């Protein structure tokens, strides 16, 4: 804030219209009074301009504060960190608004004191200076400790960016401690009203400038540190962007691979996330943006790329291929397997190294000869059984009940008719029981009273439904879970149990 000093040597006209008006109402002013009023006018304009700029910045700060608080509250104040950050933001905003309010009050009081008609012009500057001195120490206190707190928050954020490495914030912390000491000195000097000078009083004058300078140094250092960390994160961000683009348009992956060697290393494995091995002569092309493969082509792919295969569909005609065994062993990370072939004693051990399977579609005959727990079934949660006429149904069901993590089971038409419905209804481990047929007879079946049961009419081709699940997660399992949840919540008639896999639930 400006300190007003009366100076009778000031000259050069500044407000002729104002002076003419004053001369017409209160008599002719002396040259010294005219110069003094010009000086007051310039100081008033300077104060009002500064207050206007401060008001604009305070308004912008208010908008950012509201947006930030809305973002924090929307995520919820569930952690101590979120609560502390909210309290700090509220304090800093309150301090800024209080500082602005002080400046408004002092500015208008000064303007009022400079233009009071019944006080001599020469004394009005002293009155304005008295008003400044009355609020100076309080404003300085707000400023000093708001700066210290804001710098502490910035250092905290830098520490978080560097994942708790104290070495990264050693210099900013030293500067913050020094700034805090000078803030205490500045506050002490402002409130001291004794007759004798304080010991070391020469430091009082530069103390506020040192606080500001140290704060500037902290901001520069922390900004540089965060910037350096951001530079290190650019490859990670670039990797994520290209990965999203590749998954959104799998057919564009070969084009993306041409951008740069590092891009090729990132996106090429995504080509092999979903592999469908089905005779193209007996099914219509499906526009899922996925590349087509043959067993011979897969045999040429590096093991590093095959490690990224997650979803695999194999038809009977590909099982006898001599290259099958070699590349299957190179795919240890498969989580979704559709085995549309007979699992002979020769093939079953080959599938045994798939130890992360969650979604499994397989012929029911495998449960007639295999002993559960077999490695293939240990992690399976969703099991679809293809029709079979081999073996004992009782033996199949006995082995199914031994699968440790099974929660969802689906049966194709023949099995859904011959398996015991009472045994299915009494199995408390199952959360979803699906019959993939709209024509199965359910007269008197205990499943009709089971809240976990749904019957799905497969109007959509089974391999298209599988591809939808592999690419977007929205297959008949998703449809069944959504339908059962809606029925339990009362959004669907509880007596309804038949839906189609083309339904939108």
- pLDDT one-digit tens code per residue, 119-145: 776 677 766 667 666 677 777 777 888
The predicted structure's pLDDT at residue 22: 44
Q: What residues make up the domain containing 492? A: 270-500
Residues 267 and 256: beta-carbon distance below 8 Å: yes
Could you check whether the bond before residue 253 is cis, i.e. omega within 30 degrees of 0?
no
Residues 312 and 221 in one domain: no
Query: Which one of 207, 234, 261 terminates a domain?
Result: 234
Instruction: Please tell me whether residues 317 and 230 are part of one structural domain.
Output: no
Q: Give the H/E segment covering residue 295.
A: helix 295-299
- How confident is the model over 348-361, as pLDDT tens digits? 878 888 889 999 99
Looking at the predicted structure, is the pLDDT value of residue 13 above 50?
Answer: no
pLDDT class for 185, splitting at 50, 70, 90? Answer: confident
| Per-residue model confidence (pLDDT) at position 7 | 45
Whole-number Å distance between alpha carbons of 407 and 452? 10
Residue 8 lies in a domain: no
Confidence of residue 283 (pLDDT cuts 50, 70, 90): low
Mean pLDDT of the region 286-299: 71
pLDDT at 360: 95
pLDDT on residue 144: 83
* Stretch among 293-302, 351-360, 404-413 having the lowest mean pLDDT: 293-302
- pLDDT of 398 reads 86
Residue 334 sits in the same domain as residue 462:
yes
> Does residue 251 have a pLDDT over 70?
yes
Q: Are residues 213 and 325 in the same domain?
A: no
- What is the number of structural domains in the chain? 2
**Residues 494 and 373 both lie in one domain:** yes
pLDDT tens readout for residues 436-468: 987 777 888 889 888 899 999 888 888 889 988
- Of 25-29, 261-265, 334-338, 349-353, the least confident: 25-29
pLDDT tier at 480, thresholds 50, 70, 90: very high
> Is 218 domain-assigned?
yes
Structure tokens, 487: 């029925």
Q: Which of 333, 332, 331, 391 is nearest to 363 (CA)?
A: 391
Same domain, 344 and 482: yes
The verdict on residue 339 lying in a domain is: yes
Q: Is the pLDDT of residue 482 over 60?
A: yes
Work out the mean pLDDT of the chain and round it to a whole number.
Answer: 81
Please indicate, yes or no, whether residues 127 and 274 belong to a single structural domain of this protein: no
Residue 6 lies in a domain: no
SS3 337: strand
pLDDT of residue 24: 39
Q: Indicate whether 315 and 429 sit together in one domain.
A: yes
- Cβ 131 vs Cβ 2: under 8 Å: no
Q: Which residue bears the tokens 């304005």? A: 128
Q: Are 179 and 217 in contact (CB under 8 A)?
A: no
Asked whether residue 247 is assigned to any structural domain, the reply reads no
* pTM of the entire predicted model: 0.60
Give CA separation, 127 vs 8, 122, 296, in Å. 17, 10, 95
Q: Is 20 helix (H, G, I), strand (E, B) or coil?
A: helix
Q: Specify the pLDDT at position 16.
A: 44
Q: Does one domain contain both 143 and 22?
A: yes
278, 220: one domain: no
Q: Let me know: does 368 contact 391? Beta carbons within 8 Å.
A: yes
Residue 262 falls inside a structural domain: no
* Residue that is last in its domain, among 234, 260, 295: 234
In sequence order, the β-bridge partners of residue 457 are 500
Whether the per-residue pLDDT at 2 is higher than 70: the answer is: no
Task: State the average pLDDT over residues 410-429.
Answer: 86
Task: Tell whether 290 and 349 lie within a shared domain.
Answer: yes
Burial of 46 (C-beta count, 10 Å sphere; 0-12/13-18/19+): exposed
**Sequential DSSP letters for 159-209:** HHHTTT-GGGGHHHHHHHHHHHHHHHHHHHHHH---SSPPTTGGGTTTHHH
Q: Is residue 345 part of a domain?
A: yes
Name every residue whose Cβ is closer than 8 Å to that of residue 334 and which is 6 or more positions away in sequence: 309, 310, 311, 312, 354, 356, 357
Say whether pLDDT at 205 is over 70.
yes
Q: How far apart are CA 434 and CA 361, in angstroms?
A: 13
Pick from 234, 254, 286: which residue ends a domain? 234
Q: What CATH number is associated with residue 383?
A: 3.80.10
333 and 220 within one domain: no
pLDDT of the residue at 191: 76
In a domain, 7, yes or no: no
């Amino acid at each position: 804030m400006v300190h007003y000093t009366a100076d009778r040597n000031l000259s050069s006209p500044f407000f002729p219209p104002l002076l003419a008006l004053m001369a017409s109402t209160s008599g002719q002013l002396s040259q010294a009074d005219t110069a003094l009023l010009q000086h007051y006018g310039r100081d008033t304009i300077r104060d009002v301009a500064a207050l206007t700029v401060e008001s604009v910045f305070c308004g912008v700060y208010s908008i950012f504060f509201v947006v930030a608080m809305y973002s924090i509250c929307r995520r919820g104040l569930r952690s101590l960190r979120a609560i502390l950050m909210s309290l700090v933001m509220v304090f800093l905003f309150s301090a800024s608004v209080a500082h602005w309010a002080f400046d408004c009050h002092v500015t208008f009081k000064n303007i009022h004191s400079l233009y009071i008609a019944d006080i001599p012009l020469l004394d009005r500057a002293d009155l304005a200076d008295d008003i400044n001195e009355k609020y100076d120490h309080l404003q300085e206190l707000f400023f000093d400790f708001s700066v210290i707190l804001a710098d502490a928050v910035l250092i905290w954020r830098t520490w978080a960016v560097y994942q708790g490495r104290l070495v990264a914030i050693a210099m900013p912390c030293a500067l913050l401690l020094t700034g805090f000491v000078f803030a205490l000195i500045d506050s002490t000097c402002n409130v001291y009203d004794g007759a004798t000078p304080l010991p070391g009083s020469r430091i009082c004058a530069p103390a506020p400038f040192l606080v500001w300078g140290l704060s500037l140094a902290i901001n520069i250092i922390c900004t540089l540190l965060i910037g350096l960390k951001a530079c290190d994160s650019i490859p990670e961000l670039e990797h994520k962007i290209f990965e999203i683009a590749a998954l959104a348009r799998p057919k564009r992956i070969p084009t993306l691979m041409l951008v740069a060697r590092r891009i090729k290393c990132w996106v090429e494995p995504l080509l092999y996330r979903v592999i469908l091995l089905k005779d193209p002569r007996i099914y219509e092309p499906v526009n899922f943006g996925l590349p087509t493969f043959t067993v011979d082509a897969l045999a040429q792919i590096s093991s590093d790329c095959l490690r990224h295969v997650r979803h695999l569909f194999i038809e009977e005609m590909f099982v006898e291929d001599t290259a099958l065994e070699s590349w299957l062993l190179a795919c240890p990370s498969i989580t979704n397997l559709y085995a549309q072939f007979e699992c002979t004693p020769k093939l079953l051990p080959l599938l045994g190294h798939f130890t992360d399977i969650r979604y499994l579609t397989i012929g029911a005959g495998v449960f007639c000869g295999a002993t559960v727990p077999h490695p293939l079934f240990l992690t399976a949660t969703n099991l679809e059984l293809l029709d079979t006429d081999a073996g004992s149904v009782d033996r199949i069901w006995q082995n199914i009940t031994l699968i440790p993590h099974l929660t969802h089971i689906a049966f194709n038409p023949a099995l859904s008719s011959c398996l015991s419905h009472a045994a299915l209804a009494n199995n408390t481990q199952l959360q979803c029981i699906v019959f993939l047929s709209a024509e199965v007879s359910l007269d008197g079946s205990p499943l009709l009273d089971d809240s976990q049961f749904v019957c799905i009419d497969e109007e959509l081709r089974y391999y298209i439904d599988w591809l939808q699940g592999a690419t977007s997660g929205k297959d008949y399992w998703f449809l069944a879970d959504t339908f059962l949840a809606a029925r339990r919540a009362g959004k669907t008639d509880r007596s309804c149990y038949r839906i189609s896999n083309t339904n939108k639930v």
